[in-house]
Chains A and B, each alone.
Chain A
Amino acid sequence: MRLADISKLALLVWLAVVIVAAFFYVHAAEGFIGESSRIVFFHVPMAWIAVLAFLVSCIASVMYLRRRDPKDDIRASVSAGLGLLFAVLATTTGAVFAKIMWGAYWNWDPRQTSITILLLIYAAYLALRGAVDDPERRASLSAVYAILAFVTVPFLVFVVPRIYWSLHPDTIINARGTNEFDSHYTQVLMASLLGFTGLYVWLYTIGCRIETIRQRRRQEVLDV
């Protein structure tokens, strides 16, 4: 118990420090209009978590199809819900950033297109879950869909951006292999990534616990 509480407190402090550092420790980066580079400290981790959550959901789906453990289905659906949340956040922060940098909230550049499609995948996954009553069938069908969707994602993420001219700034580690930004920037960005991952893990465990309780309750009602 004590360790869990300490780590949650650590998360609080960690991300609070990251927020402060994002605004005061780092100079606004060159090549970005005004202070807009600071949004990146939040936008990139959110997008990363949206993808990570999707990965977790798909792995849980594969596990479910293999061993038919209801816990895996819980993991898949909880992670999908969180993924949707972070995808929405990533899209919003990205749109704000796009407005500042390029004057329009939405450009349909490949990265924006990719995150939209990820959003659609999450929404479709949750719609499918909502459409099936039988728990086992719901779990199997959504597991299949998650895997199908996962297979499409590499095309989104890697192929579509390369084919299209992109407004999006190059990935932080660009083709030359050197960092575009100074070391302060990278430090805060990495710290933010770590913090957000911690947040995701915490939310994920809470979600799984809630769902397990809900299922246990439902089972108790049926047993009576």
Chain B
Amino acid sequence: MSDLMGIAVVTLMIWVGLFGYVYRLDRKVSRLED
């Protein structure tokens, strides 16, 4: 059970991290466009 918890947490962290990266990229591109 704790293995599953571990994988779930890692996946969540990966997702949040990825989201943050793409969001920053999005903002940077918006700034370049204006």
Contact = CB atoms under 8 A, between A and B. Distances in A.
Nearest to A35: B4
Contacts of A213: 29, 32-33
Interface stretch (A14-22, A50-58, A114-122, A128-136): A14-22
Contact of B22 (A16, A22, A23, A202): A202
A172 interface: no
Nearest to A213: B32
Q: Summarize B's interface: helix, strand, loop or mixed.
A: helix
A8 B26 contact: yes
Contacts of B4: 23, 35
A92 B26 CA distance: 27
Contacts of A35: 4
A19 B22 contact: no
A19 B26 CA distance: 23
A71 interface: no
A209 B15 contact: no
Given A8-B23, A8-B26, A24 B8 contact: yes
A22 B12 CA distance: 11
Contacts, number: 37
Contacts of A190: none
Question: Chain A interface secondary structure, helix, strand, loop or mixed?
Answer: helix
A164 to B, nearest CB: 32
B25 to A, nearest CB: 6
Interface residues of A, number: 17
B19 A12 contact: yes
A206 B22 CA distance: 9
B15 A19 contact: yes
A33 interface: no
B14 to A, nearest CB: 9
Contacts of B26: 8, 202, 206
Most buried by A among B7, B19, B33: B19
A15 B29 contact: no
Given A209-B33, A213-B33, 12 more contacts: A8-B26, A11-B19, A12-B19, A19-B12, A22-B8, A24-B8, A35-B4, A206-B25, A206-B26, A206-B29, A210-B29, A213-B29
Interface of A: 8, 11-12, 15-16, 19-20, 22-24, 35, 202-203, 206, 209-210, 213
Closest 7 interchain pairs by CB? A23-B8, A12-B19, A209-B29, A19-B11, A19-B12, A206-B26, A213-B32
